[in-house]
Structure 1
């Protein structure tokens, strides 16, 4: 496997993870609207899923940018929630 296909494979793994997190987020939001909100555990899980989604998207953007500019996408790293969440505003 060459570096480009390896990088694409890792990007696909990140996208698969994003897909699973989006499905879980939708399920939690659907449960929230079917009854009077979510329990504390479900609310905490929803927040965790939202943060993980932000981190995954950020990591994917980092990897794509590094690839675009001839850098090693494997040097991209998951950033802390506070840093990733800080982009929203």
Structure 2
């Protein structure tokens, strides 16, 4: 898989997760299930942003971006772009 297609796939996932996050935040149903899903989406977003940053960094310094890996949510928690 090429760097561009992998990055595009990650960006697509980020966009999908952001859309879902907005839906969950704007949903008047504040059930435990929705709150759990929101926390899960937030963690997945943190992981996606971290993976994308790893890939870009590796490419910038001549390393193989495909060597980047998804890190545990606890490790990348509250990541900000």
The runs of 5 or more residues in structure 1 that have no matched partner are: none
After TM superposition, the score normalised by the length of structure 2 is 0.92
Runs of 4+ in 1 over 3 A off after TM superposition: none
Counterpart-to-counterpart distance in 1, 2:39 and 2:70 = 17
After TM superposition, the structure 1 = structure 2 runs for residues 23-34 of structure 1, keeping only pairs within 5 Å, are 23-31=19-27
- For these two proteins, the number of residue pairs brought into alignment is 80
Q: Which has the higher contact order (CA 8 A, sep 6+)?
A: 2
RMSD: 1.6
Q: Deviations over 1:18-61 (max 9, x none)?
A: 00000000000010xxx3x5100000000000000000000000
Structure 2 alignment gaps of length 5 or more: none
